[in-house]
Structures are given as structure tokens and as C-alpha cells.
Amino acid sequence: MSNPVRVGIAGLGTVGAGVLRLLVANAEVISARAGRAVVVTAVSARDRTRDRGAALDGVRWHDDPVALAADPEVDVVVELIGGADGPARALVEAALSARRPVVTANKAMLAVHGASLAAAAEEAGVALAFEAAVAGGIPVIKTLREGLAANRITRIAGILNGTCNYILSRMRAEGRDFAEILADAQRLGYAEADPSFDIDGIDAAHKLAILAALAFGRPVAFGAVHVEGIRGVSAQDIRFAGELGYRIKLLGLAHATAAGVSARVHPALVAEDAPLARVEGVYNAVVAEGDFVGRVMLEGRGAGAGPTASAVVADLIDIARGRATPVWGAAGAALSDAPSVPIADHMGCYYLRLMVVDRPGVIADVTAVLRDHGVSLESMLQRGRAPGETVAVVLVTHETREAAMAAALERIAALDAVLEAPTMLRIEPA
């Protein structure tokens, strides 16, 4: 068997420790599949005393993670620090400059700096691998970049954040409001003390930017992703959605159209019998649609030490075997320059919930505004009457343009009988 692949790991948190344990526990299987042993020879982490569940005897420690890039006993650098900038980016840039392959799980860095890092990897002639950056142990990167390489991908739809999916699943199952379930999720460790990165949709948007770049063969464009989170989803909306035959999910959606590429993250209603509607709890799922393959769906755990470490080591095995694919599936010169389509141009159906004073003429006023903006209604839902009091009215529209919907909502919100800002959710085929 050939000389071992010598690995330097920066960051020994949950995922880094998981990689150490996996390389030891499955050493025989990994060596057989890689064609040679994969061994950790150097690490960088803040705390040298912490027990990672695997022996680090004889492994060199670097206080500065960037030093791994210059370590003569390191063949491949694994970056598991996290963060779009700072030491993580500095290490990856240094490693590529030194012509060392890099494996990373850093979705934020790839979403924000992926174009320049891909160019650096291409110039150096080395791999920049990131299976672990999206959907944990689900092999979605390899599926898009290699398994579906012969297809023109037309659509990506995914549940890309386990924290949000867990919260929405429990809200539906228990009929409780967002704030209560979030507090429980934090107590159980499914949500961070500061959960904004997850619940405001940023984490999912990073992942969608990466998937859209791979699917449509163009440079990553995180700034073009429209992002909304789940703070505004209420138990009332989930209940009404259920009455209408839908479930509410935070989705990442990307489409290739004649006008360009649309990429958006937001809560949406999906039919309760749709595959994505049935993905519950902390699970992730991605649906890809190709012109020859049709629809493909992948589902599994999107985070955690084991699934994410599995993806990291899969990349190490590819590098050991000499298997390499351009970062975004094609050489930089062959990437598309398709423009980004703004959310205002989106065409779809909408769910509207209005809190209004229950009095004659209110619905007529609302429907007149919608008519003026070319929005037609498919159905209306109201439960109970309370003359002179506040009631909820739910409207479902036929397909219309987002810009028209936004203009109509601005006028509806100004009606004196409408007592709260309207809730608008998009209805998506999934």
C-alpha cells in the first residue's frame, strides 16, 4: 500500500472530534477505500486539555491554524474552524497558495468567498472539497457535481436547516407558538443561545448559494439570495395551513429560467402529501430536478458529529484516490454568467392572513385592492364570527407576480379595518 495521506485538522470541536474518532474506528475500511491509510499528523485547536475521544499522541499541535498550511508533514488541510473570514479563510487561502488540497465544512466561507477560493484552487491545481458544508452526511454535493453531471438541472428545493425544521415540526404537532418551541429547542441543544443565524434563514441561504452554484454551473452568488426566516410564522398560520391541506416549511429554492437564476430562502406552504412536507424534526432533504434524470430526493441528518465527519472523510478518501472535480463542477472559464432574477419577478400562489374588524364591507375592500393589482383569489377561509371584534381571514390567491402582491399588501395594510401587518407566505410545489 502507498504512503499514508497525512492530514492536518484545524478545529477540534464537535465535527473535528468526530473526524478523529471516525478515522480510528473505521481505519481498516477507510484504508481499503482510499487505497492507503489516512492519518492525522497535526492539529490546531484552542484547548489542548480537552478529551476528544481519540488519542492524539505524537500529533503536532499548532497554536496558529495557518501554520498547518506550511507544515511539511501535512498533505491535506482540513478546515473545521468555521466563520466566513478570520483564521478559517486565512488557513484555506494559505493552504491553496502552498498547493495543498483542502477539505472544509465551512458553508459561510464558501458562500461568501467561494468564487475567489475556487479560482485559487484551480490555479494551484489542487482540490477544494466541501461535501460536509451542506446537509451534513447527505451526499448532495457529490450527487449534483458528479452523479447528475450529464443533466441540465432546472430546480433545487430543500429543507436545509434542521433547527428551523425541528421548530416548525413541533409547532405543528403541539399547536404551540414559535417562542415557546424555540426556548425548548435551546434547552435541548437543537438551537444556539443566539439562534438568529438559523431562524433568520442565513444558514440555509449559505447552503442554497452553494447548491445553486453547483446546480447551474455559475459562480456562487450569496448576495443574490432572497432571505426570510421563520420568526413571523405563528401557530395560527400552521393551523390554517393544515386546514387548507398544507404544511409550512423553511425552504431553500433555486430555479433556472430563461431570465436567469432565482434563489430564495423563506417559509412556504407545501402540500401535505409532498415529499418535503413529510420531512420532520432535525432532518434535512434536497430535491433536484434534471432534464434527463427527472426528480431525485436525498434525505438524512443535516448536522452532528457523525454525519458531518462522514462527509469530511469521504472527501479525504477522494483526495487519497486522486479523484478531483472543479469546485463548481466546471472550470472557471466554462461557468455561466446567467443573471440573478429578483424576488419581485417571482410568479406563484400566495397565502394571506389578515386580522380584521368583523364588520360588513371589509372583505369587499380587500378584494377590491387585490383586483386593482391583478390578483385573483382561489379561496377564502374564516372561522367564526365576532361582530365588531378582531377575526382572522385567510385568502389563497391564484398565480401572480410578487411585485403585484407586494403592492397590494401595502394598500391592504393601510385599510383601517386591518389591525395588524398582513402575513404573506408563498405556496410552493415541492
* pTM, entire model: 0.95
Which residue type is seen at 199?
I
Question: Is 249 among the catalytic positions?
Answer: no
- Residue 286: phi and psi, rounded to 5, are -135, 130
Could you say which of 301, 328, 356 is where a domain stops? 301
* Confidence at residue 1, expressed as pLDDT on a 0 to 100 scale: 52
pLDDT tens for each residue of 244-282? 999 999 999 999 999 999 999 999 999 999 999 999 999
Could you say which of 109, 133, 157 is where a domain stops? 133
Which listed residue (107, 142, 207, 249) is catalytic?
207
Per-residue pLDDT band for 2 (boundaries 50, 70, 90) equals confident
249 and 196 part of one domain: yes
The share of the chain scoring above pLDDT 70, in percent, equals 99
207 and 278 part of one domain: yes
128 and 78 part of one domain: yes
Q: How many domains, the chain?
A: 3
pLDDT tens for each residue of 279-298? 999 999 999 999 999 999 99
145 and 266 part of one domain: yes
* Confidence at residue 428, expressed as pLDDT on a 0 to 100 scale: 96
At 221, list the grid cell.
452568488
- More confident position, 406 or 137: 406
At 230, list the grid cell.
421563520
* Confidence at residue 262, expressed as pLDDT on a 0 to 100 scale: 97
Is 320 inside a domain boundary?
no
257 and 183 part of one domain: yes
Q: Which residues contact 289 (CB under 8 A, 6 or more apart)?
A: 153, 154, 155, 156, 295, 296
> Is 90 exceeded by the pLDDT of residue 346?
yes
- Integer-rounded Cα Rg, in Å, for the chain is 24
277 and 182 part of one domain: yes
Residue 204 three-state SS:
helix
pLDDT tens for each residue of 28-87? 999 999 999 999 999 999 887 787 778 788 899 999 999 999 999 999 999 999 999 999
d(CA 138, CA 288): 13
Nearest to 6 by CA among 29, 33, 34: 34
Task: Work out the number of other CB atoms within 10 angstroms of the CB of residue 223.
Answer: 10
Which CATH number fits the domain that encloses residue 276?
3.30.360.10
Q: Residue 419 is part of which domain span?
A: 344-427
161 and 221 part of one domain: yes
152 and 261 part of one domain: yes
* Confidence at residue 302, expressed as pLDDT on a 0 to 100 scale: 83
* Confidence at residue 68, expressed as pLDDT on a 0 to 100 scale: 97
At 329, list the grid cell.
463542477
At 85, list the grid cell.
473570514
Provide mean pLDDT across the span 231-239: 96
Per-residue pLDDT band for 396 (boundaries 50, 70, 90) equals very high
